[in-house]
Amino acid sequence: GGVREAVVAKAYEFVQVDRTVNVGPCADMALCSHRVSEDEVKRDAVEVVTAGGGNKQGKLCVLQKSLNPMVTTAVSLPEAQAVWTVYGPPAEEEESEVKKEPEEEPEEEPEEEPEEEAHAYMVISLGGDEPKTVVLKGRELEEFDDDEQMDFFIEGATVCVANIFNRRRIVQVPRR
């Protein structure tokens, strides 16, 4: 004898509500439960997994009802009450123009793709016995050096931080 598990069949009704380009052709499909982690299954969440293509063109598509973010970095901040990210000051434009002689034909330069604009600062309002605000800078989230000028209030908790005027200014609202 072996242990047998009862299988309960559920009826699903599929209705087209949207179209996704290039999911097919489908060679096979399966219904799966959405897993939040290896041990935890998200309740009432079903994904449709399709297999399609062939050879080097093979693919798996996971169709789901909602967005499930992929966490790439997690940091424990037990005293954090709130966290914001804001854009920094715009990069200074070069004012020097290169003058060419009228006889020269302008050379075609390959257009550079603009670099994706990233937030410049992460502002963390910390609670605890002595509330304070921590500000980290850059893509690597580095702390400010002691000799660097920082225009943020850090001596107490922060209520809100945001960009205004088309990301040209940063507003910080400290708690009194």
Instruction: Please report the pLDDT score of residue 95 as a whole number.
Output: 37
Q: Which residues of 55-78 are buried (b: 16+ CB within 10 A; e: fewer)?
A: eeeeeebeeeeeeeeeeeeeeeee
* Bond from prior residue into 131 cis (ω within 30 degrees of 0): no
Question: pLDDT digit of tens for each residue in the chain (176 aa)?
Answer: 566 666 667 777 766 555 556 677 788 888 887 666 667 666 667 788 888 877 777 777 888 777 766 677 777 888 899 999 999 876 653 333 444 455 555 565 555 555 667 889 999 999 888 999 999 998 888 899 888 888 999 999 999 999 999 888 999 999 87
Length of the chain: 176
Residue 157 neighbours by CB distance under 10 Å: 18
Select from 126, 118, 140, 113 the least CA-distant residue to 174: 126
Select from 88, 92, 81 the least CA-distant residue to 163: 88
Q: How far is CA 86 from CA 25, 75, 93, 123, 133, in A?
A: 43, 19, 20, 8, 14
**Percent helix, strand, coil in the chain (nearest 5)?**
0, 35, 65
Instruction: Report pTM.
Output: 0.51
Residue 175 neighbours by CB distance under 10 Å: 14
